[in-house]
Amino acid sequence: MTKTAIITGSTSGIGLGIAKAFAKAGMNVVINGLGSAEDNEPARAEVNALGSGKTAFHGANMMQPEQIKDLVQSTEDKFGQVDIIVNNAGIQFVEKVEDFPTSKWDAIIAINMSSAFHTTRVAFGGMKERGFGRIINVGSVHSLIASPYKSAYVTAKHGILGLTKTLALEGAEHGVTANAVCPGYVETPLVTGQIADTAKARGMSEEEVIKNVILKAQATKQFVQIDQVAALALYLTSDDAAQITGTALPVDGGWSAQ
């Protein structure tokens, strides 16, 4: 039977890459992100063209629990059930803790962490009943280690790992797995923005930030590619991955090995 996947924050970057990989594998894919259905029609059409499954866009704002509930329920109405959720939506803000805006803290905790609870809680019971489910949380190397000036992001990404482990235990005897994929630096719009913000916070040029900050800890000295993260997410949906649960899987060029 065709599997149905929701991928939050999938109109750009890593989420879009995962949506494309899942569509190519024949799944029904619901993409999500900021902006109107019209704005996001090119992304939906691009994903739709890749596979035999159906594709839809839902514009739930990951700061709004009621909209998140509607994302999951309307997917169940449209496709019958939700088999896979990739909690990927995320934002970043880089600032010294004493200057960190409280509104940015609240937004990062809501989008990068709490939204994963709000999607999962609606779909989890059905997954358990049917004996199959996959929760894939896009964490970060910052789920495992910290960096300065990223208090909210590091907190949210550590938090989502706690949720991942709890979901793994609750789903373990019901065929439902939960894992966190933990990328190092992937070249996406989120990182491009971060280069400029970090340059400002540290008083460095953007070139210095790339060389001495961003790729400093990434042992391979290469950006992770979106397709490499998407391939791991796709593997986690497979039957071969049924015994992988409650894990944090780094895709970080050796960053967290140090």
Only one of the segments 3-11, 98-106, 125-133, 172-180 lies at the binding site for ligand NAD (rule: CB under 6 A); that segment is 3-11
- Within residues 191-210, the interface with ligand NAD by CB under 6 A covers 191
DSSP 93-162: ----GGG--HHHHHHHIIIIIIHHHHHHHHHHHHHHHHT-EEEEEE--GGGTS--TT-HHHHHHHHHHHH
Residue type, 156: A
Among residue numbers 133 through 162, which ones bind ligand NAD (CB under 6 A)? 138, 140
CA dihedral 199, 200, 201, 205 (to 10 degrees): 30
> Is residue 176 within a helix (H) or strand (E), and if so which, with residue range?
strand 176-183
What are residue 217's DSSP bridge partners? none
Least gap, CB of 237 to ligand NAD (angstroms): 17
User: What residues from 87 to 106 belong to the interface with ligand NAD (CB under 6 A)?
Assistant: 88-91
CB of 174 vs ligand NAD, minimal distance in Å: 26
Write the binding mask 104 to 133 for ligand NAD: x where contact by CB under 6 A, - elsewhere. -------xx---------------------
Instruction: Assess contact for 72 and 97: CB atoms under 8 A.
Output: no
Cβ at position 35, least distance to ligand NAD in Å:
7
Q: Does the active-site annotation cover 153?
A: yes
Query: If binding is defined by CB under 6 A, does position 65 make contact with ligand NAD?
Result: no
Instruction: Indicate which single residue of 3, 7, 13, 86 sits in contact with ligand NAD (rule: CB under 6 A).
Output: 13
Residue 107 and residue 207 in contact, taking contact as beta carbons nearer than 8 Å: no
In this chain, which stretch among 11-19, 20-28, 127-135, 204-212 interacts with ligand NAD, using CB under 6 A? 11-19
Supply the Cα-derived Rg of the chain in whole angstroms.
Answer: 18
Residues 6 or more apart in contact with residue 212 via CB below 8 angstroms: 204
Quickly tell me which residue has 């894939």 as its tokens: 136
CA-based nearest residue to 184, from 149, 151, 125, 141? 141
**188 binds ligand NAD, rule: CB under 6 A:** yes
Min dist. Cβ of residue 137 to ligand NAD (A):
9
Candidates 85, 186, 233, 248; binder of ligand NAD (CB under 6 A) is 186
Q: Name residue 178's beta-bridge partners.
A: 135
Instruction: Report the alpha-carbon angle 165-223-238, nearest 5.
Output: 40
Is residue 233 within 8 Å of 137, Cβ to Cβ?
no
The minimum distance between CB 128 and ligand NAD, in angstroms, equals: 25
User: Interaction with ligand NAD in 20-39: which residues (CB under 6 A)?
Assistant: 32-34
List 4, 12, 114, 151, residue binding ligand NAD (CB under 6 A): 12
Least distance to ligand NAD, CB of residue 135, Å: 14
Catalytic sites, residue numbers: 153
Positions that interact with ligand NAD (CB under 6 A): 9-15, 32-34, 61-63, 88-91, 111-112, 138, 140, 183, 185-186, 188-191
